[in-house]
Amino acid sequence: MTFLQAKEKGEKLTMLTAYDYSTAKLMDEAGVNSILVGDSLGNVMLGYEDTISVTMEDMIHHGAAVARGAKEALVIIDMPFMSYQTSVYDAVVNAGRLMKEGRCGAVKLEGGQEVCPQIKAIVDAGIPVCAHIGLTPQSIHAFGGFKVQGKSEEAARKLLEDAEAVQNAGAFAVVVEAIPKKLADLITEKLRIPVIGIGAGNGCDGQVLVYQDLLGMFSDFTPKFVKRYANVGEVMKGAFREYIKEVGSGAFPSEEHEYKIDDDVIEKLY
């Protein structure tokens, strides 16, 4: 089932971020529709304060690992900051690298009307594009922080126009981040293409979350829109503590974890 068919049938789409092979494999086996190799890897994997420093090499390295783990889900790789804003030419070359070297099925880029020439050119080159509007983290310094977008009439109208513009430029889906639910509902109603929400209420055609947020593995910053489905961070810490304790006491490794050798072989070495 394609993204468009899901919207037409009214079936909700699921998307999660992943940055490595084993996590992508687990998500794929669980049946998620799409795996986003988000540039949020800058925050949750590399420990940066924002996504600005993430490079093409980072995205290709992590993207290719995810692509090896995902057999069914659509893998989308984020275009990092300044890999497409600089020119249409840069956008096509870098989207091509993400598909060729990162082995993704589609790329995602941030912005509305201002990046439509890039979206059109990438799509014309045969690479599907997912757009991303609302709170776009690569523009965090222009926004003055992580703030809900589209609350005034002017800002809401601009977002609606941006959504229609990216659709007309050829995007197959659009992520809307941190915008009021009623505005997300209106955008979802007006667009032909699926609207994937994050912090945009439950009226969107689908949802996306950063997996460390969903699993309780990242505590530096938790947005209001995150729901924690498990406390894996605590489970991990508990296991690490247990390991440290058992190595210290000699309880690990025990006999079941040992390799054997014949006694007469070892005796000859003394």
- Which residues here bind ligand KIV, judged by CB under 6 A? 17, 36, 38-40, 78, 132, 175, 177, 198, 208, 210
* Distance in Å, CB of 36 to ligand KIV, minimum: 6
Q: Which two tokens stand for residue 60?
A: 């290709």
CB closer to ligand KIV out of 50 and 185: 50
CB closer to ligand KIV out of 127 and 130: 130
Indicate the residue whose CB is closest to ligand KIV: 38
Q: Which two tokens stand for residue 115?
A: 């990046």
* Distance in Å, CB of 44 to ligand KIV, minimum: 8
**Among 177, 189, 234, 258, the one annotated catalytic:** 177
Is 72 assigned a catalytic role? no
Helix axis angle for 116-124 and 88-100, nearest 10°, is: 50
* Distance in Å, CB of 150 to ligand KIV, minimum: 16
CB closer to ligand KIV out of 98 and 247: 98
Catalytic positions: 177
